């Protein structure tokens, strides 16, 4: 071990009595379009950080490229605004080295389910203890209106003006199909209480928590979630003590489904069921192996390494 | 005492967190020594050091003097600060010299378990203060009046949140009659991990009282499960007890309800005679507590089904609970 | 046909022995070839290792078929090991094999057709095929002997299978130890050391396996003693230094450990993978891990993430993998995250020649990223340097906050040679970072106005919080919308290379500092080039050579050195057009990759001789090429 990042928490001690306010997490002024769903996700995340009292210097947001990937700039934590589709490998490298950091990954639908789809599948399988948010507006926002894998069939864009040719990809059933995936949830940015409760459940889950957040893009894909926004009966809340329960929402959203998130088969049925837009935790299993735990090794000091290296060189000695 | 094979087994199982703490000490030591060397160093020494870091391939081709000039030099420290730094280094060297002994303590006849743990931890706490002093001096921020006390041993009560998280495991050898779990409860925080190696007659479930939702608790008679103590991301207590004791694992990640988290593999009869300060009633109480926590609730199909355990899981857990009660002869008492 | 007829057929153990002629040689090249899976490589490895341990100079090369399991007895399936043994140090694989031992005549034919065998080579070949029940096989044997007879080879038939069957049921497993015994006798190798090496090779197998192998070895030894009338004596020379013997990939792996790195992120690709094989076996006890990612892109991203967060990480790959990593390399350069990337080059483009050596990734390495992406490129020239370069690469990556690419190749990766045992120094592992508190107001990149260098800040450090971005940014990592910032930040990143170049000293010239022709090379060709220069000088030609390690920044002082020669020619293992080829003119001629760079940076009319033979360059070929290119009017 050449550098003991373990020293950092000791050198930068958190005082027992210090408490963080929401304003402690505010970064640059958000530059998304007015009415963009990303604003409300940012607000929910700031609220979560304050509620969970995460020290800003030990919290990291890793993103790719897209409107949604601007997220880290608007927070005052550490941020890694990387390259399109590749947030997850970077987050994997950070977490492998620094299990002490709280890591949130923010991706758009193009970022996660198209160019970064390979990494997405494998990250679900690695099951590192991180929160992965898919900000799904069903369109490429930053590059101005191209079809994404989650664009509903028939929805027009600049690249498929007669409507998307193919049925859209279902991120929930895809994620639930991956071996060792340990947490899959869906929420919507226009139901802030649910968004917050879901993010909190995700953050508290040990393992990779994949949260698909339905996100409105009023500029390019306003039609995508229009019906679900306007008609609460299109929504069904999944409730369970091991998932999320937000009783006050049940006044507006009358479809309440008891769903045990330990039941993978039931989770897959919910994911494939298009009768309603389901919000809640579809699946959670904290006992699945986590890659950073499996790969954690005892660090060795320079002297220990030198001794071991001499022994290794002996094997090649002439 | 370190030659006890059970202590060895515990040290091996806890190798990773121990190595992590050791690397922390080592890292601080090296940085401080380097800083001190830089204070006295003349130019040639600085250049030689820079050349050494480049390795043979680089040193043969790169001008070491100019390379050294690129490295940020250390700031100058005043005498008081340097004295403090030397004292801090002293503390760190002392820790380093103890080797594995830093992580092993023993409760000798007449001593109290709680006091031994406290003293082992406060010795370790000294390291944190010393590490912070080295950093303050290097950053030119050391103020004697404010920071001098950092160079004293630091009782656990004074540890910061991060220090509690950086705590290394401590293995304590203790006689059965001296085991008082309640003395340990206040150490359940951060990543503190205490492993008791118990000799002689002991209450059968002394750690049952330490079971709280976020604490990993293990009782074993053969050391099985100690590796899980090392891996657990939070506070943990474990006891390696003489044969016949109750054995169980309480792993917080396994669920929301106690019965989901607790796996009891053996419950013995309650002892017929008091052991140390523990009366038979107290020992029976601990066994009952264990059985209670492990028992699956009845499945009441609640409205909407929320909160009910999955059928399959509850069946199995129920069977274990009734078997346990039968084994322990407690069936009638609950 | 010069078949050997004077061999004395003596049953093993009988008193009669041939009295061998002893040939004293300063160096000799031996190879053992078989169908794939018959263990020729293992035999060769043991022979090479023991020769090195006895004090001989050694250079080994693997002979690898293109397919994993080619059909038996076809020339394309030849698999084996070539060992050049010398009294002094051996720096390359030489020109041709002097003695070959083959398990069938078809693989021997393959070597013959490749011109791998010296005209007077001694060829020992399994003879069971001559009398095989299958008439086609017998005919193939005859045809092969016919073809081989066009040269002055001396062929010695060996009843390998018959002999082995006396000891084992399945001669396919065991012939290689019999062969090893023969070679040990012919070359007078130390049998105790060989037995030790056999024990080491089969350490994971049972005692019985060891015993059987030793019996086979001894039988082969005795057979040669009774039947082979030639012995070759390449006297060993004990070195004063402690030595180690390993291949270049092993050296890279151990060098990475010595340098203090603790994460290797990779995706399997020949010929780079074996770096990770060794690391996977030992790295964890050093506190390091090998992460096999889902692809090369992810491997690069994981290494970047780990490095950003304070670990010292590297990634290792070959050409096609390098291509995939390029976007991430740009990201690391843009965000000034230190990263070491090892490219073990193979033949390209595309999938190319996966197991064969080439030096055609130089441009790809230099221009790996779109946009202006200055970074460091270094190339070790020897297997020993493969070890030491890792320490330097790590230190430069961290000091200059950039990507360091290390260009090795298949020749270094799989060749094995003894070299001075490294003396690891704790200073090599020195922490890259000062963890002391970040003063308030510190910017993400406080570029020094002179050098462009700045302090790294790690997640976990209070006051440091910033969002790193791959978009163009200012000192504070704020996305740069105003003009001028991109110019300034580009300059800061570029300046670092100028600073590094100012630290380098001009490369030494091998041979005289002036003359008629200067050969310039880089990477694994150093040994062959310098051997060629020695021969040319012995022939009275005024030829010198110069070998470059730093390719970005380019080493300083080249122009004055070049000006002392009438002609400068690069010798490289990559493709270039030949003057005189159809359509090729001096204007459109595509030159060797290094030649191109040197022309651009020195404005000297640098010529090149480059080849892509799918094998290392032979010193003899270099000699011929240089003679061909000697300037008119030069001494001859
Ligand atoms: C390698 C690469 N290809 C393409 C792009 C261009 N690009 C930037 S963002 C983006 C898609 C954005 O869509 P999404 O991921 O859904 O994010 P959103 O903007 O909708 O939040 C594309 C194609 C790029 N930056 N890099
Ligand atoms: S284009 Fe759409 S997704 Fe992007 S910021 Fe505007 S509203 Fe949001
Ligand atoms: Mg999108």
Q: Where are the alpha helices (DSSP H) in B191-264?
A: 226-231, 258-261
Exposed, middle or buried: residue B158 (CB in 10 Å: 0-12, 13-18, 19+)? middle
Q: Is the Cβ–Cβ distance between B1 and B106 less than 8 Å?
A: yes
The tens digit of pLDDT for each residue in C349-380 reads 999 999 999 999 999 999 989 999 999 999 99
CA of B291 to the centre of ligand 2 (A): 56
The tens digit of pLDDT for each residue in B207-259 reads 999 999 999 999 999 999 999 999 999 999 999 999 999 999 999 988 889 99
Per-residue pLDDT, C172 = 79
Q: Which ligand is nearest to the CA of A84?
A: 1
Per-residue pLDDT, B315 = 46
3-state secondary structure of B22: helix
C248, C262, C392, C449: best to mutate for the B interface, most B CBs within 10 A: C392
Where exactly does CATH 3.40.50.970 map onto chain C? 244-423
Per-residue pLDDT, B322 = 52
In DSSP terms, C417 is beta-bridged to C246
Instruction: Classify domain A19-314 at the CATH class level.
Output: alpha beta
Choice among A228-237, B15-24, C428-437 with the minimum mean pLDDT: C428-437
> What is the homologous superfamily of the domain C21-233 according to CATH?
Pyruvate-ferredoxin oxidoreductase, PFOR, domain III (3.40.920.10)
Please tell me if residue A93 touches chain C, with a CB cutoff of 8 Å: yes
Per-residue pLDDT, C594 = 98
Instruction: Classify domain C244-423 at the CATH class level.
Output: alpha beta
Would the pLDDT of C432 be above 80?
no
Q: Is the distance from the beta carbon of residue A246 to the nearest atom of ligand 2 less than 6 Å?
A: no
The tens digit of pLDDT for each residue in A100-142 reads 999 999 999 999 999 999 999 999 999 999 999 999 999 999 9
Residue contact C549–B27, C-beta within 8 A:
no
In this prediction, residue B304 has a pLDDT band, given cuts at 50, 70 and 90, of very low
Percentage of the residues of chain C whose pLDDT score is greater than 90: 86
Would the pLDDT of B313 be above 90?
no
In this prediction, residue B331 has a pLDDT band, given cuts at 50, 70 and 90, of very low
Q: What's the average model confidence in pLDDT over C52-64?
A: 93
B225: left (phi over 0), alpha (psi -120 to 50) or beta: left
Element (H, E) at C633: none
Q: Indicate the average pLDDT of chain C.
A: 93
The tens digit of pLDDT for each residue in C183-232 reads 999 999 999 999 999 998 888 888 999 999 999 999 999 999 999 999 99
So what's the ipTM on this one? 0.97
Q: What's the average model confidence in pLDDT over B100-128?
A: 95
In this prediction, residue A3 has a pLDDT band, given cuts at 50, 70 and 90, of low
What is the rounded CA–CA span in Å between residue C239 and residue C236? 9
Q: What is the pTM of this model?
A: 0.93
The CA-based angle C241-C245-C247, given to 5 degrees, is: 140
In this prediction, residue B309 has a pLDDT band, given cuts at 50, 70 and 90, of very low
Please tell me if residue B20 touches chain A, with a CB cutoff of 8 Å: yes
Domain segments of chain B as ranges: 203-298+310-334
Residues in A touching B254 (Cβ below 8 Å): 286-287
The tens digit of pLDDT for each residue in B252-263 reads 988 889 999 999
The tens digit of pLDDT for each residue in C491-540 reads 999 999 999 999 999 999 999 999 999 999 999 999 999 999 999 999 99
Would the pLDDT of C90 be above 50?
yes
Atom of ligand 1 nearest to the CA of A136: 16
Would the pLDDT of B301 be above 60?
no
Would the pLDDT of C31 be above 70?
yes
Would the pLDDT of A160 be above 50?
yes
In this prediction, residue C312 has a pLDDT band, given cuts at 50, 70 and 90, of confident
Q: What's the average model confidence in pLDDT over C437-463?
A: 92
What is the rounded CA–CA span in Å between residue C268 and residue C293? 9
Percentage of the residues of chain B whose pLDDT score is greater than 90: 72
CA distances from C594 to C193, C502, C515, C575 (A): 43, 21, 21, 11
Per-residue pLDDT, B299 = 56
Question: If DSSP states are collapsed to H, E and C, what string results for chain A?
Answer: CCCCCCHHHHHCCCCCCCCCCHHHHECCCCCCCCCCHHHHHHHHHHHHHHHHCCCHHHEEEEECCCCHHHHHHHECCEEEECCCCCHHHHHHHHHHHCCCCEEEEEEEHHHHHHHCHHHHHHHHHHCCCCEEEEEECCCECCCCCECCCCCCECCCCCCCCCCECCCCCCHHHHHHCCCCCCEEEEEECCCHHHHHHHHHHHHHCCCCEEEEEECCCCCCCCCCCHHHHHCHHHEEEEECCCCCCCHHHHHCCCCEEECCCCCHHHHHHHHHCCCCEEEEEEEECCCCCCHHHHCCCCCCCHHHHHHHHHHHHHCCEC
Residues in A touching B307 (Cβ below 8 Å): 240-241
Q: Where are the alpha helices (DSSP H) in chain B?
A: 5-13, 15-40, 43-59, 64-70, 79-98, 113-138, 144-147, 161-166, 226-231, 258-261, 280-294, 311-328
Q: Give the CATH number of domain C509-629; options: 3.40.50.150, 3.40.50.920, 3.40.50.2300, 1.10.3720.10.
A: 3.40.50.920
Per-residue pLDDT, B324 = 52
Domain segments of chain A as ranges: 19-314
Of A298, A310, A316, the CB nearest to C245: A316
The tens digit of pLDDT for each residue in A47-65 reads 999 999 999 999 999 999 9
Residue contact B56–C422, C-beta within 8 A:
yes
Q: Indicate the average pLDDT of chain A.
A: 95
Q: Is the distance from the beta carbon of residue A109 to the nearest atom of ligand 2 less than 6 Å?
A: no
Residues in C touching A3 (Cβ below 8 Å): 310-312, 431-433, 435
Q: Is the Cβ–Cβ distance between C82 and C60 less than 8 Å?
A: yes
Q: What's the average model confidence in pLDDT over B102-119?
A: 96
Residue contact B132–A10, C-beta within 8 A:
yes
Q: Is the distance from the beta carbon of residue A67 to the nearest atom of ligand 2 less than 6 Å?
A: yes
Q: What's the average model confidence in pLDDT over C144-148?
A: 96
């Amino acid at each position: 071990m050449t550098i003991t990042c373990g020293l950092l928490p000791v050198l930068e001690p958190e005082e027992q009595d210090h408490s963080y306010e929401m304003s402690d997490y505010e970064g640059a002024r958000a530059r998304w379009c007015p009415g963009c769903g990303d604003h409300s996700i940012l607000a929910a995340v700031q609220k979560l950080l304050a509620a969970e009292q995460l020290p800003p210097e030990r919290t990291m947001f890793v993103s790719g490229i897209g409107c949604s990937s601007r997220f880290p700039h608007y927070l005052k934590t550490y941020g890694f605004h990387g390259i399109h589709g590749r947030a997850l490998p970077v987050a994997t490298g950070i977490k492998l080295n620094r299990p002490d950091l709280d890591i949130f990954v923010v991706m758009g639908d193009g970022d996660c389910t198209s160019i970064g789809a390979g990494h997405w599948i494998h990250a679900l399988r690695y099951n590192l203890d991180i929160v992965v948010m898919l900000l799904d507006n069903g369109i490429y926002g930053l590059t101005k209106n191209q079809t994404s894998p989650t664009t509903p069939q028939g929805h027009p864009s600049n690249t498929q003006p007669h409507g998307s040719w193919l049925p859209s990809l279902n991120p929930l059933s895809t994620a639930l199909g991956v071996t060792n995936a340990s947490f899959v949830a869906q929420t919507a940015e226009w139901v802030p209480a649910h968004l917050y409760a879901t993010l909190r459940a995700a953050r508290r889950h040990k393992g990779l928590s994949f949260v698909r957040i339905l996100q409105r893009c009023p500029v390019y894909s306003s039609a995508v979630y229009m019906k679900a926004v306007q008609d609460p009966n299109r929504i069904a809340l999944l409730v369970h003590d091991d998932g999320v329960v937000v009783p006050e929402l049940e006044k507006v959203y009358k479809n309440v489904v008891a769903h045990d998130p330990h039941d993978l088969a039931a989770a897959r049925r919910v994911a494939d069921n298009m009768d309603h837009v389901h919000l809640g935790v579809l699946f959670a299993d904290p006992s699945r192996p986590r890659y950073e735990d499996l790969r954690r090794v005892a660090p060795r000091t320079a002297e220990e390494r030198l001794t071991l290296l001499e022994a290794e060189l002996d094997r090649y000695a002439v | 005492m370190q030659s006890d094979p059970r202590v060895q087994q515990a040290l091996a199982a806890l190798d990773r967190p121990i190595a992590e703490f050791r690397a922390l000490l080592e890292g601080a030591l090296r940085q401080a020594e380097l800083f001190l060397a830089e204070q006295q160093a003349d130019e040639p020494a600085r250049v030689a050091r820079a050349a050494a870091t480049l390795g043979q391939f680089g040193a043969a081709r790169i001008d070491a003097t100019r390379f050294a000039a690129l490295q940020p030099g250390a700031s100058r420290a005043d005498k008081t600060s340097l004295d403090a730094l030397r004292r801090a280094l002293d503390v760190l060297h002392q820790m380093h010299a103890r080797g594995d002994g830093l992580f092993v303590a023993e409760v000798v006849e007449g001593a109290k378990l709680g006091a031994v743990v406290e003293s082992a931890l406060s010795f370790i706490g000294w390291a944190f203060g010393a590490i912070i002093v080295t950093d303050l001096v290097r950053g030119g921020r050391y103020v004697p009046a404010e920071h001098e006390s950092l160079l004293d041993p630091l009782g656990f009560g004074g540890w910061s949140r991060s220090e509690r998280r950086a705590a290394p495991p401590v293995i304590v050898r203790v006689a059965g009659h001296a085991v008082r779990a309640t003395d340990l409860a206040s150490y359940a925080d951060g990543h503190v991990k205490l492993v008791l190696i118990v000799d002689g007659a002991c209450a059968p479930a002394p750690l049952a009282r330490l079971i709280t939702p976020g604490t990993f608790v293990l009782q074993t008679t053969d050391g099985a499960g100690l590796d899980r103590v090392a891996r657990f991301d939070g506070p943990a207590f474990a006891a390696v007890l003489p044969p016949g004791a109750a054995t169980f694992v309480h792993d917080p990640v396994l669920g929301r309800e106690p019965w989901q988290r607790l796996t009891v593999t053996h419950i013995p009869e309650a002892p017929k005679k008091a052991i140390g300060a523990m009366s038979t009633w107290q020992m029976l109480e601990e066994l009952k507590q264990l059985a209670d926590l492990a028992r699956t609730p009845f499945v009441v199909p609640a409205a909407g089904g929320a909160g009910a355990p999955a059928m399959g899981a509850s069946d199995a857990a129920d069977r274990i609970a009734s078997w346990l009660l039968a084994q322990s002869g407690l069936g009638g008492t609950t | 046909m010069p078949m050997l007829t004077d061999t004395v057929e003596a049953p093993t153990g009988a008193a009669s022995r041939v009295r061998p002629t002893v040939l004293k040689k300063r160096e000799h090249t031996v190879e053992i070839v078989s169908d794939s899976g018959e263990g020729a490589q293992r035999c060769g490895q043991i022979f090479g290792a023991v020769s090195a341990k006895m004090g001989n100079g050694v250079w080994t090369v693997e002979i690898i078929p293109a397919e994993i399991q080619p059909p038996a007895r076809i020339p394309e399936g030849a698999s084996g090991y070539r060992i050049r043994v010398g009294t002094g140090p051996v720096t390359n694989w030489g020109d041709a094999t002097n003695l070959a031992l083959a398990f069938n005549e078809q693989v021997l034919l393959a070597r013959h057709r490749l011109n791998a065998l010296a005209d007077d080579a001694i060829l020992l070949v399994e003879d069971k095929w001559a009398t095989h029940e299958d008439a086609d096989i017998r005919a193939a044997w005859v045809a092969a002997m016919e073809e081989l007879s066009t040269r002055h080879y001396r062929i010695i038939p060996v009843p390998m299978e018959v002999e082995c069957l006396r000891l084992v049921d399945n001669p396919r497993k065991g012939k290689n130890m019999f062969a090893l015994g023969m070679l040990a006798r012919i070359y007078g190798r130390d049998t105790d050391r060989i037995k030790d090496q056999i024990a080491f090779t089969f350490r994971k197998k049972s005692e019985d396996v060891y015993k059987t192998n030793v019996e086979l070895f001894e039988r082969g030894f005795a057979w040669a003693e009774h039947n082979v009338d030639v012995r070759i004596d390449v006297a060993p020379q004990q070195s004063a230094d402690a030595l180690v013997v390993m291949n270049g990939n092993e050296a890279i792996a151990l060098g990475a450990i010595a340098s203090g790195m603790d994460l290797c992120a990779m995706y399997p690709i020949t010929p780079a993978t074996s770096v990770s094989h060794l690391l996977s076996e030992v790295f964890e006890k050093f506190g390091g891990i090998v992460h096999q990612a889902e692809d090369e892109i992810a491997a690069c991203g994981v290494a970047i993430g780990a490095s950003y967060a304070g670990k010292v990480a590297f990634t290792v790959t070959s050409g096609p993998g390098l291509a995939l990593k390029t976007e991430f390399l740009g990201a690391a350069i843009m965000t000034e995250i230190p990263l070491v990337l090892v490219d073990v080059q193979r033949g390209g483009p595309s999938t190319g020649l996966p197991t064969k050596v080439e030096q055609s990734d130089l441009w790809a390495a230099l221009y790996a990223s779109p946009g202006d992406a200055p970074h460091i490129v270094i190339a070790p020239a020897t297997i020993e340097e493969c070890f030491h370069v890792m320490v330097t690469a790590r230190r430069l990556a961290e000091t200059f906050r950039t990507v360091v690419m290390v260009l090795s190749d298949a020749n270094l990766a799989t060749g094995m040679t003894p070299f001075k045992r490294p003396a690891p120094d704790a200073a090599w592992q020195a922490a890259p970072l000062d963890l002391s508190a970040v003063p308030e107001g510190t910017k993400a990149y406080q570029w020094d106005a002179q050098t462009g260098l700045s302090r790294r800040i790690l997640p976990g450090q209070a006051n440091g919080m910033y969002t790193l971005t791959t978009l163009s940014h200012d000192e504070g990592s704020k996305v740069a919308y105003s003009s001028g910032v991109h110019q300034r930040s580009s300059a800061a990143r570029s300046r670092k290379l100028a600073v590094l170049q100012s630290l380098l000293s001009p490369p030494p010239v091998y041979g005289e500092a002036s003359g008629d022709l200067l050969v310039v090379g880089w990477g694994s060709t150093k040994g062959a080039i310098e051997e060629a220069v020695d021969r040319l000088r012995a022939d009275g030609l005024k030829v010198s050579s110069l070998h470059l390690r730093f390719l970005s920044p380019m080493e300083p002082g080249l122009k004055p050195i070049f000006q002392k020669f009438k002609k400068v020619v690069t010798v490289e293992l990559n493709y270039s057009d030949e003057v005189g080829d159809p359509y090729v003119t001096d204007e459109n001629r595509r030159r060797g990759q290094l030649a191109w760079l040197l022309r651009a940076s020195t404005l000297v009319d640098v010529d090149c001789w480059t080849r892509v033979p799918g094998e290392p360059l032979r010193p003899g070929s270099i000699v011929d090429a240089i003679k061909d290119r000697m300037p008119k009017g030069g001494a001859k």
